[in-house]
Structure formats: C-alpha cells, structure tokens
C-alpha cells in the first residue's frame, strides 16, 4: 500500500467517508467537553464514563417513551437526559472540590469508574433485548436522521459543528467567557482582578460533563440506533487527545478531530487488509499523538 493510497483510502466510498465523519462528530463533541474543563484549569478524567452514562440515560428515555409522542420529543428528551446525567456527574465532583478540597483529577475518574460497571449490569440485565444475542438494548423507534446513507453519518455532525462555533463565540466574545478563560489560564491574575476562580470549577466541570453526556446521546441515537455494552469505546479518552492536539482552541478542534478520525479510519481499513497488525496500528496512533501534543523541542538548537 503506497502512501497516497494510505492517506486517501478513507474517501474511497460513501460508506468509509460517512463513517469517518460520523466518528469525527463524536470526537468533536467529546473534545469540546475536555477543552471546557481544560479552559477552566481542570482535568476531567471521567469523560469516558460521562459519555457512557449519558448514552445509557438517552437509551432509557428512548426505550420507555410512550407511543404517540409528538415527532422530535423523544429525541429532545433523550438529549436532555444524557446532558443532565453528564452534568450531574461533573457537578458532584465540583461539589467535592468546593466542600472538601477533593482533586477533580481523582474524583472524576473514580466516579466514572464506579458507575461504569453499574451501566454494564443494566445493559446486560433488565435493559437487554431478550431476543437478541448481543449485550444491547432493543433498537430505538426514534433515531437521528441519517444524512449520508448507507453510512452512519447523522445530524449529530451538524449539531457538533454548531456547538463548536457556539463555544468559540462564548469564550472569545462574552464577558463570562473572558472570566472563564482568564481564571483557567492564570488563576493568580484572575484573583487579582476580583474573579472568584474557585467558583468557576462548577460551570467548568458541569459543562464538560454535559457535553460528554451529549456525545453519548449522539452515539446511541445517531451512530448505532441502540445502546450496547461498552459502546463508548474510548471516546472520552480520544476526546481528551483531540483537545490536547488542538491546544484547547475550540475552532482548532475541527481539523484536529478530522485528523484523528481520518487516522483511525485509515488504520481500521489497513487492519482489515491485514497489512499491519493491531499492535502496529496502535503504536502508529500513539507516536502521532505524542508528536502532535509535544510542546518542547526534541532536537537541540543548531549553532
């Protein structure tokens, strides 16, 4: 496989291109969540669990909605339930930081790790479709419309891009966004200017969790049309990687998420062709990410 084919193979069909853009949409939403926490000077290591629990909340809403609901209502309520679930997880960790000084770096990770097995049990138990062989729920009656069939690309792609621009406008063009950005980037300067930096951990973690939960909604209601065990599949961690690649600049998340999605899509296709092993593809991903997020010079200066 030559280099040109390796770089352009993901655009070889509607199926591959659509699925790549669909994964980009999920990455974009997850990376927005990670970037909001980073902008607030915090690490949200529970993003993976927030995606997973948010998707589960959306699935429960879609499964138990009564028949005859107005069009669009089930999806709207499912998106709200997913966002609220992620936001509450972030809010709980922010409360622990304000009340007990607990480090969100630890609490976000531990909370998500504790709740993920409970979600697994629900999907494999009471929510599992009895007639199916997968550890998954039944398919939803209401899903996000597909915009590039037969691929999985849905309206989540449009929504994620709109969210990215909205986040950029908020951070760059509003007073609240300015205070948020300054408090996270330079806490000492923010305190000197009269900004209560400690109180900003609440919106930072809550908004980060809400975006993680919304990513879960996009995955179950847009990409898959059901909720299966472990559907998040590293989306939260990949979102943090994309945010680091973009250096937490919201508009830069667009090319960064496209780059990461294209890389993953290309490597997945290469694996199917048995050209490289799965370990080699993961090594290549890791090397590219390390080079992308490196801030220091690797080679000494000349002269």
pLDDT in tens, 41-56: 888 999 999 999 999 9
What pLDDT score does 298 carry? 44
- Residue 299 counted as domain residue: no
Non-local CB neighbours of 146 within 8 Å, separated by 6+ positions: 152, 153, 154
Identify the CA nearest to 97 among candidates 88, 106, 110.
106
- Residue 302 counted as domain residue: no
Average predicted confidence (pLDDT) for the chain: 86
pLDDT in tens, 137-172: 999 999 999 998 889 999 999 999 999 999 999 999
Contact 57, 295 (CB under 8 A): no
Beta strands in 127-285 (DSSP E): none
Q: How many domains does the chain have?
A: 1
pLDDT in tens, 193-238: 777 777 788 999 999 999 999 999 999 999 999 999 999 988 998 8
Non-local CB neighbours of 205 within 8 Å, separated by 6+ positions: 37, 40, 42, 44, 90, 91, 93, 94, 97, 104, 108
Burial of 32 (0-12, 13-18, 19+ CB in 10 A): buried
What pLDDT score does 6 carry? 55
Task: Tell me how far apart the alpha carbons of residues 35 and 29 are, in angstroms, rounded to a whole number.
Answer: 10
Q: Residue 30 — very low, low, confident or very high, per pLDDT cuts 50/70/90?
A: very high
189 is in which domain, residue-wise? 3-293
Q: Residue 1 — very low, low, confident or very high, per pLDDT cuts 50/70/90?
A: very low
Res. 282: pLDDT tops 70:
no
Structure tokens, 198: 């400690």
| pLDDT, greater one: 223 or 266 | 223
- Residue 303 counted as domain residue: no
Indicate which CATH number applies to the domain containing 252: 1.10.3470
What pLDDT score does 303 carry? 42
What pLDDT score does 126 carry? 93
Res. 260: pLDDT tops 60:
yes
| pLDDT, greater one: 91 or 262 | 91
Tokens 């504790």 -> residue: 114
What pLDDT score does 275 carry? 55
The residue count for the chain: 303
- Residue 174 counted as domain residue: yes
Res. 274: pLDDT tops 80:
no
- Residue 298 counted as domain residue: no
What pLDDT score does 206 carry? 95
- Residue 118 counted as domain residue: yes
Stated as kind and residue range, the H or E segment containing 63 is helix 47-63
Q: Taking the model in full, what pTM does it have?
A: 0.90
What pLDDT score does 184 carry? 76
Cis link prior to 161 (omega < 30° from 0)? no
- Residue 300 counted as domain residue: no
Contact 263, 288 (CB under 8 A): yes
- Residue 73 counted as domain residue: yes
């Amino acid at each position: 496989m030559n280099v040109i084919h390796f770089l352009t193979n993901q655009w070889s069909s509607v199926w591959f291109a659509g699925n790549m853009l669909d994964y980009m949409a999920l990455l974009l939403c997850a990376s927005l969540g990670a970037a909001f926490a980073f902008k607030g000077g915090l690490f949200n290591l529970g993003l993976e669990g927030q995606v997973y629990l948010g998707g589960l909340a959306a699935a429960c809403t879609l499964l138990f909605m009564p028949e005859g609901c107005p069009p669009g209502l089930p999806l709207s309520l499912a998106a709200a339930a997913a966002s609220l679930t992620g936001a509450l997880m972030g809010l709980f960790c922010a409360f622990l930081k304000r009340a007990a000084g607990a480090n969100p770096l630890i609490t976000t990770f531990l909370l998500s790790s504790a709740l993920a097995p409970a979600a697994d049990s629900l999907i494999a138990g009471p929510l599992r479709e009895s007639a199916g062989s997968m550890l998954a729920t039944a398919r939803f009656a209401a899903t996000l419309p597909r915009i590039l069939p037969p691929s999985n690309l849905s309206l989540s792609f449009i929504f994620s891009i709109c969210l990215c621009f909205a986040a950029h406008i908020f951070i760059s063009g509003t007073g609240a966004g300015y205070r948020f950005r300054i408090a996270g980037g330079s806490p000492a300067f923010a305190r000197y200017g009269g900004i209560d930096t400690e109180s900003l951990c609440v919106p930072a973690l809550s908004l980060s969790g809400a975006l993680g939960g919304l990513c879960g909604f996009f995955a179950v209601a847009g990409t898959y049309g059901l909720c299966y065990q472990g559907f998040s599949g590293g989306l939260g961690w990949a979102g943090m990687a994309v945010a680091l690649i973009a250096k937490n600049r919201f508009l830069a998340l667009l090319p960064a998420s496209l780059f990461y999605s294209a890389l993953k899509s290309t490597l997945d296709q290469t694996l199917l062709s048995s050209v490289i092993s799965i370990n080699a593809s993961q090594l290549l991903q890791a090397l590219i990410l390390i080079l992308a997020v490196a801030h220091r010079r690797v080679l000494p200066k000349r002269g």
